[in-house]
């Protein structure tokens, strides 16, 4: 197989792999197996012998070291993991994706499937770097799925390059493809011992040259308002409308600590799923702060809001539940500085100006690092994830492949120092 990264990417995005947050199965959707099983097949076709998929959907494969056993440094080169997730966000449809491959010549991009969906130059400064280059978008009716099918295509193409160029020395390369990352469960049943990597990298980042060693610390909050329903014609003094109570809660949420009003290291409270009727209304909320202790402050803001609303709706019952999602991976990565040093050096060798950028979100690497496997994040060249204006640079994907190949060689060199 001598496919390009674009060939692979276009094939993968056609497969609907959306995960589902309120599912009671793992993976949360069976359709994720469509891509997972395809990846098993393709890895075997590349010539990888050690490929497995388990009942949870984890695909694990090994490209064995090609360093001569007589080389004294053989035992010093760590097994390096490369990880990407197959699922896409539920924020926009991932079914029947029609990818558009275009040469970008500047200006706004009006997507052909829905002229109201526009990738605006003013909102996407990275587009200027892509003038005269190939980019890929959806047709505007779905998301594209670059998050994280670009990462999958990059890893698969990097493995193909190593097989085609045996003169590139490398230690054991461990490949991992996971489901359900978008709903925070990508590593729920991930077996580190079975995976066998000593260090790892997720290929799940954004702009070209951006590297990530910090994520938010994250909790999820669920506010539930219990009311009482009765026919509206005889409701006076009896009905307790949970929707009205929830509306009073939502209107009191601080607007200055929302995703749309914050950036950089600023925390936020983000209501993102609302379901309800008179009897019962639930609101799902994301709590995010780079300082883990800051999550308690965000929780207290919600508690204060609820206490303000209770007297306005004395017959309603209001509950708040907090669940831990993931934690900032920086502390874990600082314990093994070579993991980020090697990545920075590899990106420089690619001819880019690498820069550490905090992720205003999380990756599988957040939990893997907390579990004991240091796992920073590598760029893919993608932008506007989770929405219909998602796009990716082919040049960015190619530079990501180059970075991965350099990274593997840097580890060999550093291990011999």
Return the active site residues. Answer: 87, 181
- What's the CA gap between 12 and 324, in Å, rounded? 31
Tokens found for residue 118: 């526009």
Residue 319: CB atoms within 10 Å: 11
Token pair recorded at residue 13: 């995005």
Q: How far apart are CA 395 and CA 366, in angstroms?
A: 27
**Whether the Cβ atoms of residue 173 and residue 62 lie closer than 8 Å to each other:** yes
Number of helices (H), then strands (E), in the chain: 10, 18
Cβ 343 vs Cβ 376: under 8 Å: yes
Q: Whole-angstrom Cα distance, residue 58 to residue 173?
A: 16
CA triple 352-103-359, angle to 5 deg:
40
Query: Can you spell out the DSSP letters for 130-154?
Result: GTTSEEEE--SSS---HHHHHHHHH
Residue with tokens 């060249």: 381
What values do phi and psi take at 207, rounded to 5?
A: -65, 150
Neighbours of 146 (CB within 10 A): 30
- Secondary structure (3-state) at 76: helix
Given a contact cutoff of 8 angstroms between Cβ atoms, the answer to whether 36 and 42 are in contact is: no
Beta carbons of 282 and 222 less than 8 angstroms apart: yes
* Beta bridge mates, 137: 100, 391
- Give the residue from 381, 362, 373, 379 showing the smallest Cα distance to 339: 373
Query: Cβ neighbours of residue 358 under 8 Å, at least 6 residues apart?
Result: 212, 214, 215, 264, 265, 290
Question: By C-alpha distance, which of 4, 7, 3, 9 is closest to 392?
Answer: 9
Residue with tokens 């600590």: 257
């Amino acid at each position: 197989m001598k496919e390009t990264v674009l060939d692979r990417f276009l094939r993968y995005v056609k497969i609907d792999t959306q995960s589902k947050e309120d599912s009671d199965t793992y993976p949360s959707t069976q359709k994720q197996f469509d891509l997972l099983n395809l990846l098993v097949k393709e890895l075997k076709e590349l010539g990888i012998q050690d490929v497995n998929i388990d009942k949870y959907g984890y695909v694990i494969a090994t490209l064995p070291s090609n360093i001569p056993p007589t080389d004294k440094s053989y035992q010093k080169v760590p097994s390096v993991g490369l990880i990407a997730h197959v699922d896409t966000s539920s924020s926009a449809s991932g079914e029947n994706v029609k990818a558009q491959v275009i040469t970008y010549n500047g200006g706004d991009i009006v997507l052909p499937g829905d002229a109201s969906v526009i990738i605006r130059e003013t909102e996407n400064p990275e587009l200027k770097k892509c003038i005269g280059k190939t980019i890929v978008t959806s047709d505007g009716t779905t998301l594209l799925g670059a998050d994280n099918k670009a990462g999958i295509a990059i890893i698969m193409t990097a493995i193909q390059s190593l097989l085609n160029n045996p003169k590139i020395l490398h230690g054991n390369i461990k490949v991992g493809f996971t489901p359900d990352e978008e709903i925070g469960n990508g590593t729920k049943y991930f077996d580190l011992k079975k995976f066998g990597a000593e260090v790892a990298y997720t290929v799940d980042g954004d702009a070209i040259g951006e590297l990530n060693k910090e994520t938010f610390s994250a909790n999820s909050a669920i506010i539930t308002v219990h009311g009482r329903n009765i026919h509206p014609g005889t409701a006076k003094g009896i009905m307790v409308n949970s929707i009205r109570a929830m509306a009073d809660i939502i209107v009191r949420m601080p607007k200055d600590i929302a995703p749309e009003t914050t950036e950089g290291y600023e925390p936020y409270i983000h209501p993102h799923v609302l379901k309800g009727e008179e009897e019962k209304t639930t609101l799902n909320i994301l709590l995010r702060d780079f300082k883990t202790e800051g999550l308690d402050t965000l929780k207290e803001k919600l508690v204060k809001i609820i206490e303000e609303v209770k007297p306005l709706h004395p017959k309603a019952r209001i509950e708040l539940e907090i669940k831990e999602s993931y934690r900032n991976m920086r502390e874990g990565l600082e314990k093994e500085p070579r993991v980020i040093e090697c990545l920075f050096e590899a990106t420089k060798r690619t001819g880019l100006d690498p820069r550490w950028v905090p992720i205003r979100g999380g990756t599988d690497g957040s939990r893997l690092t907390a579990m004991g496997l240091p796992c920073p994040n590598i760029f893919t060249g993608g932008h506007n994830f989770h929405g219909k204006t998602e796009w990716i640079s082919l040049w960015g994907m190619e530079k990501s492949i180059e970075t991965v190949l350099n990274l593997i060689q840097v580890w060999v060199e550093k291990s011999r120092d």
